[in-house]
A and B are shown apart, each in its own frame.
Chain A
Amino acid sequence: MEQQKSPVLSRRAFLGAMAATGVVVACGTTPSTSPSGSAKPATLSGTVTVSYPDELGAKPKYVEKAAADLKAKYSGVDVKIDLQKISSDDYYTKLLLALSGGGDVPDVIHVGGDRIGELADAGYIEPLDKYVAQWEDWKNYPQAVKDGVSYQGKVWAVPYGLDMRWLYIRRDVMDKAGLGADWTPKNVDDILIAAKAVKDKNAAPIPYALYAGVGASTGTANHSFVPLVWAYGGDIIDKTSGKWIGDSPAVRKTLDYYQRAYSGGLTPKEILTTTKPWTSMREKEGNGQLALLFEGGWVYGGWQSANKTETEKNVHYVLHPTLSAGPSFTIGGPGTVWYVTAKSKNKDAAWAFIAQWNNKDTVAKLNIEDPHPVARSDSADVAEFKAQPYLVDSTKALEKARFIPTDANYGKVIDAIQKATGRVAAGEMSPVDAAKRYTDDLKQAIGADKVITQ
């Protein structure tokens, strides 16, 4: 991606340089936060507030462990943990209101890595370059992973578990539908053909779940629309110019695919009227009431822990097909990551928490519990991680992953995608009209000069 220098960033770079040379230290408030000179501040003190959402229940013990280890390492540091037992969407909104307000904010926050651009542009988060430059473990991160958390030439976060997605297929349902238990799609349209067979043979109550509309949140984009646009040979952003692509042959084909899925009764309309449709869709894929679902790799872990044998026997996972080929690619992402807030009064200690959390062992163990490919390559060598065939497959699948570049406007593009898919799925617009409106919506949201059509 092209790196643009905005005035804000050059000023920040300037301040960074000032801080590095120790000029700012003279007027600094906390003596412990001197970042100058040595590889690591000799001592840290003060309180670090760590805020994160968790509904699954896997993370708290690792957060507590990182906090305890940090306190053991620096006697002057105290860690205050603010666990929010709400969905990550609700957490994000709540966090943004706090960050945009005038009050105190947490030092460390936990948000999806795809938000880097919009958070950095808003001035909410702190670049971590000076920290990672002195962090020995940083060499264990592949360049692609580093690129995934870079924006405008700076590193903003350290990922631990990467996102990837699978097309999940129920073997038992496929068998019942007469397609054979080992069925895999020969191309992207083959998914709809199989879904039709499931419907005709009444092999499962729901043939296929294709996310559309607002309720499915980012899933509408990352688990449905974007991989389909790629499958049809298009893209959502032009990587050379950095401009977003509105109406294009691939977008029209994708929306046509939506129309076939929804008007043919292959996908339930409840996806369009539920706030978090993925909750019930994941559950139904796990118990065989749903035949086909393209979803996050981490979802498999939920089924596995509920019923390991049944899941391994009946849930088949493959890559996303394309227009002319079977399982071919997946969509990757940096996963949920920790950031240091720009308003933090104790950034060095905040970074120390992040570095502590991202140790080789925690990264391996948490990603076994909440299955994601590991972000640091040495964690993949941990014996327990290697013993999980599913995780080995997911990590290997990343070689075939395509990523959405970090861009401040992706959040707004997701809104436009939700509207376009919702309109077609609800039968309000034809794919061609919805594709035109998609261009208009993009232009309205991010500016006409940043949108092209093909």
Chain B
Amino acid sequence: MGTAVGAGAIRPRSTAASALRRNSAYLAGLSPAAILLTLFFIGPSMWALYTSFTNKALVGIDAARPRFVGLDNYQRLVSDPDFATVVLNSIVFVVGSAVIGQFVLGLLLALLLDHSERRRYRFGTVAYAAVLLAWVNPTVIAGFLWVAMYDFYYGSLNTGLGLFGLGPVDWLGRFPMLAVIIGNIWRGTAFTMLIFLGALKTIPSDIYEAARVDGANTWRRFWDHTLPSLRPIAALALLSITMSTFGTFILIQTLTNGGPGSQTEVIALYAFHEAFRSYEIGYGSTIAVVMLLLNVAFAIVYLRWSRARA
């Protein structure tokens, strides 16, 4: 019994120590990732948060002597009439190109490719390669490819229209948001397609055969079997494309540079312009912090959604 009393007296410490010992292999395995995350993610985020409370600039007197300005930058952001436009543009861009475009199109492409693989159609491989090609291009190259497509004078679209005696249409001037959304869908659909294709492969064929024997038609088989199996992975795919689309601006910068006016200026591009074109690092950081908070909000919503349904 004496041992038991002794053990009880030192239990909390012993448990913590033994937990540490028991998990030491995991902790050692995790630490490189933890160190890298701290260095390249948490560190810069904390720096951005700190900078957002200052008037730090790259030029002028504020560059020489940055001051702590409290919530001034946040107040300015709330009353900045451009910011509302920029947030709205971001929502349209994310919903259009990520949620509707990449997600739905990626799912459709994955279903078609999975179908063609199960049926051993050779054409599927070609389609697969074509979609992947768009994705492996660096974003700047993808941007220039679409410039070559949309250009008013030399663009392929207007040259094509010209063959039928139509046009020319000022695509980027008249439909700027639609133009960048299409470019981004083209560029990013492969990612969701790959994720869904992987998930589809995990659905055993016998489920479909059983359903077929039960007399379920294609639509029922899709609705009752395919979709529920994809749900957890769908949340993950939606989360990652939403976040990456929300933070992207290179394609837009190459295509329209946020213009005309501010019609395609999304929040990430706005942060970039404020920080590195107007050289207001403090204000740019404030926009970046707000972006980070919005991304965290997205993550919470999606993860809850996927847990509730999984």
Query: Which A residues form the contact surface with B (CB < 8 A)?
Result: 8, 93, 96-97, 100, 115, 117-119, 121-124, 205, 213-215, 268-270, 272-275, 408-409, 411-412, 415, 419, 422-423, 425-428, 437, 444-445
Number of residues from B at the complex interface, CB < 8 A: 35
| A81 nearest CB across to chain B (Å) | 25
Interchain CA distance A275-B255 in the complex, whole Å:
8
Per CB-CB distance, the 5 closest pairs between chain A and chain B, nearest first, are: A426-B261, A269-B173, A272-B260, A122-B63, A426-B260
Known contacts A100-B58, A121-B63, A408-B61; A273 and B279 CB within 8 A of each other: no
Q: Do B173 and A122 have beta carbons less than 8 Å apart?
A: no
Q: How far is the CB of A212 from chain B (nearest CB, A)?
A: 9
Nearest chain A CB to B97 CB, angstrom units = 17
Please name all residues of chain B whose beta carbon is closer than 8 Å to the beta carbon of A411 when the two chains form the complex.
59-60, 278-279
CB contacts (< 8 Å) of A269 on chain B: these are 170, 172-174, 260
Residues of B close to A415: CB separation below 8 A: 277-278
The residues of B that contact A214 with a CB separation of less than 8 Å are 257-259, 273, 277
Query: Does B41 touch A at the CB level, under 8 Å?
Result: no
Take A119-B59, A123-B63 as given contacts and tell me if A422 and B172 are in contact as well, using a CB distance cutoff of 8 Å: no
Known contacts A96-B279, A412-B278; A122 and B261 CB within 8 A of each other: no
Which residues of the partner chain A approach B174 to less than 8 Å between Cβ atoms?
269
Contact check, B64 vs A422: say whether CB atoms are below 8 A apart: no
Q: Could you say which of B64, B153, B257 contacts A273, with CB atoms under 8 Å apart?
A: B257
Contacts A214-B259, A411-B60 supplied; 17 other A-B pairs, CB < 8 Å: A96-B59, A121-B60, A121-B63, A122-B59, A122-B61, A122-B63, A269-B172, A269-B173, A269-B174, A273-B255, A273-B259, A274-B257, A408-B59, A412-B60, A419-B82, A423-B261, A427-B261
B81 — which chain A residues lie within 8 A by C-beta? Answer: 437
Interface status of B263 (Cβ within 8 A of chain A): yes
Looking at B80, B176, B259, the one whose CB has the most chain A CB atoms below 10 A away is B259
Question: Which of B58, B172, B254 is in CB contact (< 8 Å) with A96?
Answer: B58
List CB contacts (< 8 Å) of B54-99 with chain A: 57-61, 63-64, 76, 80-82
- Residues on B with beta carbons closer than 8 Å to the beta carbon of A213: 257, 259-261
Question: Roughly how many angstroms separate A123 CA and B59 CA in the complex, as a whole number?
Answer: 9
Q: Which residues of B contact A419 (CB under 8 A)?
A: 82, 262
Residue of B nearest to A412 (CB): B278
Residues of A close to B80: CB separation below 8 A: 444
Cβ–Cβ < 8 Å partners of A428 in chain B: 261-263
B60 neighbours in A (Cβ, 8 Å): 117-118, 121-122, 408-409, 411-412
B256 touches A (CB below 8 Å): yes
- Shortest distance between the CB of B43 and any CB in chain A (Å): 16
Do the beta carbons of B59 and A444 come within 8 Å of each other? Answer: no
Chain A residues with Cβ below 8 Å from B273 are 214
- B-chain residues with CB within 8 Å of residue A205 when the two chains form the complex: 153
State whether A270 and B257 are in contact (beta carbons under 8 Å apart), knowing that A122-B63, A123-B64, A428-B262 are contacts in the complex: no
- Quick one: which of A121, A122, A275, A422 contacts B262, CB cutoff 8 A? A422
Q: In the assembly, what is the distance between CA of A214 and CA of B57, in Å?
A: 19
Closest to A445 in B: B278
Closest to A217 in B: B277
Which residue on chain B has the smallest CB distance to residue A275?
Answer: B257
Known A118-B60, A121-B63, A409-B60: A275·B253 in contact at CB below 8 Å:
yes
In the complex, which residues of chain A have a beta carbon less than 8 angstroms from the beta carbon of B253?
A: 275
Asked if B47 CB lies within 8 Å of chain A CBs, one says no
Per the bound structure, the CA–CA distance linking A273 and B172 in Å amounts to 7
Q: Which A residues are CB-close (under 8 A) to B64?
A: 8, 121-123
Complex Cα–Cα for A387 and B172 (A):
45
Report the bound CA distance from A269 to B259 in whole Å.
Answer: 9
- Picked from A119, A121, A272, the residue with its CB within 8 Å of the CB of B261 is A272
Cα(A445)–Cα(B296), bound, Å: 30
Q: Is the CB of A426 within 8 A of B278?
A: no
- Chain B's closest residue to A117 (CB) is B60
Contacts of A422 in B (CB 8 A): 259-262
Name the residue of chain A whose CB is nearest to the CB of B253.
Answer: A275
Q: Is B302 an interface residue (CB 8 A)?
A: no
A273-B172, A411-B59 are contacts. A93–B276 as well, Cβ < 8 Å?
Answer: yes
A residues near B173, Cβ cutoff 8 Å: 268-270, 272-273
Question: Could you jot down 16 A-B contacts, CB within 8 Å?
Answer: A100-B58, A121-B64, A122-B61, A122-B64, A124-B63, A205-B153, A268-B152, A270-B152, A272-B260, A272-B261, A274-B257, A411-B278, A415-B277, A422-B260, A428-B261, A444-B76
Chain B nearest Cβ from A237, distance in angstroms: 16
Interface-centre pick from B64, B170, B258 (highest chain A CB count, 10 A) = B64
Evaluate contact between B59 and A121: CB separation under 8 angstroms.
Answer: yes
Closest chain-A Cβ to B287's Cβ sits at a distance in Å of 14
Contacts of A96 in B (CB 8 A): 58-59, 279
Cβ of A429 to closest chain B Cβ, rounded Å: 8
Min CB–CB distance B65 → chain A (angstroms): 8
- How far is it, in angstroms, between the C-alpha of A409 and the C-alpha of B253 when the chains are bound? 26
B64 to chain A, nearest CB (A): 4
CA distance A100 to B56 in the complex (A): 10
B34 to chain A, nearest CB (A): 27
Contact residues in A for B82 (Cβ distance below 8 Å)? 419
Most buried by A among B57, B59, B263, B278: B59
Cα distance A121–B65 in the bound complex, in angstroms: 10
Residue in chain A with minimal CB distance to B281: A100
Which B residues are in CB contact (< 8 Å) with A97?
58
Most buried by A among B76, B81, B261: B261
Write out the residue numbers on chain A whose beta carbons fall within 8 Å of the beta carbon of B57. 122
The residue on A at minimum CB distance from B263 is A426
Q: How far is the CA of A214 from the CA of B256 in the complex (A)?
A: 10
Report chain B residues within 8 Å CB of A437.
Answer: 81
Collect the chain B residues with CB atoms within 8 Å of residue A93's CB. 58, 276-277, 279
A81 to B11, CA, bound (A): 68
Q: State the CA gap A348–B252 with chains docked (Å).
A: 46
The distance in angstroms between the C-alpha atoms of A258 and B76, with both chains bound, is 29
A124–B60 Cα distance when bound, in Å, is 9
A225–B59 Cα gap in the complex (Å)? Answer: 23
1/0 per residue, CB under 8 A from A, across B118-131: the answer is: 00000000000000
Q: Mark B192-206, 1 if CB is under 8 A from A, else 0.
A: 000000000000000
Q: Is the CB of B170 within 8 A of A270?
A: yes
CB distance from B121 to the nearest CB of A (A): 41
**CA A327 to CA B60, docked complex, whole Å:** 36
Distance, CA A241 to CA B173, complexed state (A):
40
> With A121-B59, A121-B60 given, is the CB distance from A272 to B259 under 8 Å?
yes
Chain A residues contacting B257 (CB-CB under 8 Å) are 213-215, 273-275
- The distance from the CB of A91 to the nearest CB of chain B, in whole angstroms, is 13
**Docked complex Cα distance between A408 and B80 (Å):** 23
